[in-house]
Amino acid sequence: MRLSGNSQILIGALAGLALGMFLGAQPADAGLRVQGLYLAGLIGSVFIALLKMVLVPLVFSSIVVGVAQLRQHGSIRRVWVTTLLFYLLTVTIAVLLGLGAAHLFDPAAGLHLDMFADALAGFQAKQLPFPEFVQQFLTGLFRNPFSALANGDIVALVVFALILGIALVQAGERYPVINRGMEEMQDLSLRIVGAIMRLAPWGIAALLAKLIATQDMALLETMARFIAVVLGTTLFHGAVVLPGLLWLITKVSPLALWRGGRESFITALATSSSSATMPVTMRVTQQHFGVRPATVGFVVPVGTTMNMDGTALYEAAAALFIASLAGIELSLGQQVVVCVMSMLAAVGAPGIPSAGMVTMVMVLQSVGLPAEAIAILLPIDRILDSLRTVVNVEGDIVGSIVVDHLTLRAEAQDAPRAAG
């Protein structure tokens, strides 16, 4: 009996964890460890490269087709507003959870900055004032589309695809070849994703093996309390908050969410990249949850660039952790600033591994904390990044299901009025 794709991926993930623990137990200069890590890195890199290869044509064509179909049904404004409001709700809850957990458990108790003197020595954090961040983010939305396509600039690609989709709808039937071409590109891209996912068990096993084998266990023990607080809070958001909202709004059970989204979640855990996982997420959301392609093509790419619940939660908790290490007590006003900046930073963070570290500096600077202190977080960021990426991807799936459900319900209510 042939195993399903989900079962194969799960077996690959478990095999990768076991292999990573085995390689991690070997001496650092052992030939088996060196060769094993090289092979795992090679296989994992090829798998991620394949996913990123199909990312740009899939995102571009899906948004253009999605906007065109939504505009034809008069749903584009409703979908856009519902998407933004839902993502704003979930990221706000995530930030408040991060701050609340940092206060409640105080993971910095017993630790101090002197313990991390070696990590801080010589570390230079790139200074990025808030006005400069806003300027870079806004100007980054509107770039040469060919440059965005070539460089895989997802944010600029999403914006240009939205503009092109709206322009095609307003043009009516004047460009049937382009419309048909976008639909065929989307279909072909999804077929390529299906073929790539046949390699997923091997790629995920290799990525997890390298992740587990290369962790610094001594540092993990030192930072165990902070790691436990962040992981626990992130798990709570992913296992209780998001499934709870999904069930309240759509009556889709948490078990159905985890079973249907398992392929995306394991891919996100292994790659630590919501962008690399996006092709899988779009396919899973359509096939396993029955969300309309037009909704998926709009909501998932927007969510990948804007909806970063796990990242926002982590940055809020990390800011309070560093403040406690430095002996600085943040006022209520400063904590509000941390909340707002964490949400903005999450929106501006690219969907790549450890992207949160790029924007973490901005969050720290907003309340006068030492930006160099992110050097403490860098060694443990990779393992935390894996779980928060899973939550980011889960938020995209939940958002797609919720938005599709609410817009379908609204359309059903509008139909009798239009007929009358």
The yes or no reply on domain 5-414 and CATH 1.10.3860.10 is yes
Least confident interval from 28-37, 107-116, 291-300, 383-392: 107-116
How high is the pLDDT of residue 419?
55
How high is the pLDDT of residue 249?
95
- State the pTM of this model: 0.77
- In this predicted structure, the answer to whether residue 353 has a pLDDT above a threshold of 60 is no
The larger pLDDT score, comparing residue 285 to residue 127, is at 285
How high is the pLDDT of residue 191?
85
What is the rounded CA–CA span in Å between residue 234 and residue 277? 19
Domain boundaries, the chain: 5-414
